[in-house]
Structure 1
Amino acid sequence: MNFDQMSTKIAEGNGFIAALDQSGGSTPKALRGYGVEEIEYNGEEEMFAKIHEMRSRIISSPSFSGDKVVGAILFERTMDGEVGGKPTPQALIAKGVVPFIKIDKGLEDEANGVQMMKPMPTLNELLTRAKGLGVFGTKERSVIHSADAQGIADIVAQQFEVGRQVISHGMMPMLEPEYSITADDRAEGEKLLKSEILTQLDRLPEGEQIMLKLSIPVEANAYKELVDHPKVLKVVALSGGFSRDEACEHLSRNEGMIASFSRALLEELRAQMDDSEFDAALASAIDDIHCASIT
């Protein structure tokens, strides 16, 4: 697939995007969920080797294909690794799955109700390398904790600033200003968030597009204006701590949004499963999330 073919695959949205991008801080928790305890590895290198084994097993599974999984977000180390003897992005492309790369380096401390992204001084180098490996787009996460108008304006402005840098490398940015699902004022804050995104979209030059990864809104179809916007290739939803059943139920109420789930995709997978058990559990998860994404 070339860039235009990947863009078309995402735009048609006949499936969902798998989030396989757990980073250093979240990797031990992801491994515990997978049935791998910390005593089973020693140090960071062995930890990342274990998580790569998990991701390789998922990508290699017969049930993981472009028929229902239109894209996958990779952690940098996963992008640089191999699956089945191929560079990971190429292994995905061979299965009809569009590769993305997580580029943020974590979060700043909370201020004005939000956590901005930390500086990314080596971003240009990473984008050049990712583009060379066939990666289509990026994903960059920051977090909103409360309906602070200034904080939300700042976080959206930073997301679009990074997005423009990604676009300059001929790649597709997936902006992720996540709204914490535990926030009491989320319904109010999501209105502010949509307004700020629309303001920034108006400033985006004609012919340029971005993607959005957002928490499933409190009010169904609250982001429909973004879904239909000509400068938005696709709006995808994060599970945000919901179980798979909860996330799928909430997502199915939002027309045009597709899933980009991590925990909700992986929650029933275990390292101790044999291949048939693993493939069956993964296939069940993929079917559920695919169904919610195309409803």
Structure 2
Amino acid sequence: MEYQKQLQRIKNDSGFIAALDQSGGSTPKALENYGVSGDEYDNDEAMFDLVHEMRARIMTCDSFDNERVLGAILFEDTMDREVNGKPTANYLWEDKNIVPFLKVDKGLAEQMSGVQVMRPMPDLEALLDKAKKYPVFGTKMRSVIYEPNTDGIKKVVQQQFDVAKQILSKGLMPIVEPEVDINSKDKHECELLLKADILRNLERLNDDQQVMLKLTLPEEGGFYQELIDHPKVLKVVALSGGYSRQNACDKLEQNPGMIASFSRAFTEGLSKQQSDKEFADTIDASIDKIYKASKV
């Protein structure tokens, strides 16, 4: 029942998905950007306490509203914690009508064949079972493509779709995220190979199956229209990939039908040192800009 409501919300409502899923490797950078230096914590537990404070501050802010924010991607540690006395996913869905997703990958393997596939996920079944105990709608997992290497890109997409099928079998919606590095000198060639491979893998899904795609903003406006229109794709969302918010929003406006799922570009400008009003005003401006770019 909740899943169907969430499905309709993602399918039909306007807005974007906030990526609040920085995990072990990327958390120090996220905290640094937020004005928390490494000498303010001396172990992972303290680090995750601080990043949860930041996320809770974002989620409970009135500007973080369901008129403009459709969903939020969480890290497992965030899902296991509470916001306003409720499990995070329950708070988002029950109190804010914002659809929760869970990051499920365990990071990236070493680079080979111009790509980084995902590390093995031996505990995925257990993690998905845990997610099902909360009102979590879907999952997200990330690989990275650096070079237009046919075999490498094929491996990335194949792995993404193999894991997506496992996630679908659990009754959750997978966000497939084969990121193309924005600094790749052959970025458009990577995108050409990637799109062809995604289309091939979509054809292998059952007629009643859908996935979501999270893709780097392409070099050519409207490049992913075929994927946006595909019956086996619920939604195509865009990652900011290191672009500034302004740059990411400018590029997003050239891709009607894609919506944002930004992380760094979303939290840009937020600081622990800000008063609640400054914080709310900063996040309101960020949300407004990203929402408008996602509505094009």
Return the TM-score normalized by structure 1.
0.99
Structure 1 residue 65, shift from structure 2 partner: 1.6
Alignment of 1:33 with 2:33, yes or no, is: yes
Provide the C-alpha distance between the structure 2 equivalents of 1:100 and 1:133, rounded to a whole number of angstroms. 10
Provide the C-alpha distance between the structure 2 equivalents of 1:111 and 1:74, rounded to a whole number of angstroms. 28
Conserved? CA contact 1:21–1:102, under 8 Å: yes
Do the aligned partners of residues 13 and 236 (structure 1) sit closer, same or farther apart at CA in structure 2, a change above 3 Å counting? farther
Which residue of structure 2 lines up, in the alignment, with residue 156 of structure 1?
Answer: 157
Provide the C-alpha distance between the structure 2 equivalents of 1:237 and 1:13, rounded to a whole number of angstroms. 17
Conserved? CA contact 1:22–1:75, under 8 Å: yes
Provide the C-alpha distance between the structure 1 equivalents of 2:132 and 2:285, rounded to a whole number of angstroms. 32
Which residue of structure 2 lines up, in the alignment, with residue 216 of structure 1?
Answer: 217
Give unpaired runs (5+ residues) of structure 1.
none
Structure 1 residue 70, shift from structure 2 partner: 0.1
Which structure 2 residues correspond to residues 172-251 of structure 1 after superposition, within 5 A? 172-251=173-252
Provide the C-alpha distance between the structure 2 equivalents of 1:152 and 1:208, rounded to a whole number of angstroms. 23
Deviations 1:6-27 (A, max 9, x none): 1111112500000000011110
Deviations 1:228-270 (A, max 9, x none): 0000000000000000000000001101000000000111100
Which residue of structure 2 lines up, in the alignment, with residue 104 of structure 1?
Answer: 105
SS in 2 for 1:279: helix
1:105 counterpart letter in structure 2: K
Provide the C-alpha distance between the structure 1 equivalents of 2:5 and 2:154, rounded to a whole number of angstroms. 33
Provide the C-alpha distance between the structure 1 equivalents of 2:170 and 2:234, rounded to a whole number of angstroms. 17
Conserved? CA contact 1:166–1:173, under 8 Å: yes
2:63 counterpart letter in structure 1: S
Conserved? CA contact 1:211–1:235, under 8 Å: yes
Provide the C-alpha distance between the structure 2 equivalents of 1:247 and 1:12, rounded to a whole number of angstroms. 23
Provide the C-alpha distance between the structure 2 equivalents of 1:188 and 1:219, rounded to a whole number of angstroms. 11
Provide the C-alpha distance between the structure 2 equivalents of 1:112 and 1:87, rounded to a whole number of angstroms. 41
Alignment of 1:60 with 2:60, yes or no, is: yes
Structure 1 residue 188, shift from structure 2 partner: 1.1
Which residue of structure 2 lines up, in the alignment, with residue 10 of structure 1?
Answer: 10
SS in 2 for 1:73: strand
Which structure 2 residues correspond to residues 108-187 of structure 1 after superposition, within 5 A? 108-187=109-188
1:87 counterpart letter in structure 2: P
Which residue of structure 1 lines up, in the alignment, with residue 280 of structure 2?
Answer: 279
Provide the C-alpha distance between the structure 2 equivalents of 1:131 and 1:14, rounded to a whole number of angstroms. 25
Provide the C-alpha distance between the structure 2 equivalents of 1:250 and 1:231, rounded to a whole number of angstroms. 25
Conserved? CA contact 1:224–1:256, under 8 Å: yes
Which structure 2 residues correspond to residues 35-54 of structure 1 after superposition, within 5 A? 35-54=35-54
Structure 1 residue 76, shift from structure 2 partner: 0.4
Conserved? CA contact 1:16–1:69, under 8 Å: yes
Provide the C-alpha distance between the structure 2 equivalents of 1:279 and 1:191, rounded to a whole number of angstroms. 40
Identity among equivalent positions (%) equals 54
Deviations 1:147-178 (A, max 9, x none): 00111111000000000000011000000000
SS in 1 for 2:176: strand
Provide the C-alpha distance between the structure 2 equivalents of 1:174 and 1:158, rounded to a whole number of angstroms. 13
Conserved? CA contact 1:67–1:96, under 8 Å: no
1:259 counterpart letter in structure 2: A
Provide the C-alpha distance between the structure 2 equivalents of 1:66 and 1:174, rounded to a whole number of angstroms. 20
SS in 1 for 2:113: coil
2:129 counterpart letter in structure 1: T
Conserved? CA contact 1:13–1:258, under 8 Å: no
SS in 2 for 1:176: strand
Deviations 1:183-207 (A, max 9, x none): 0111111011000000000000011
Give structure 1 regions of 4+ aligned residues with deviation exceeding 6 angstroms: none
Give unpaired runs (5+ residues) of structure 2.
none
SS in 2 for 1:135: coil
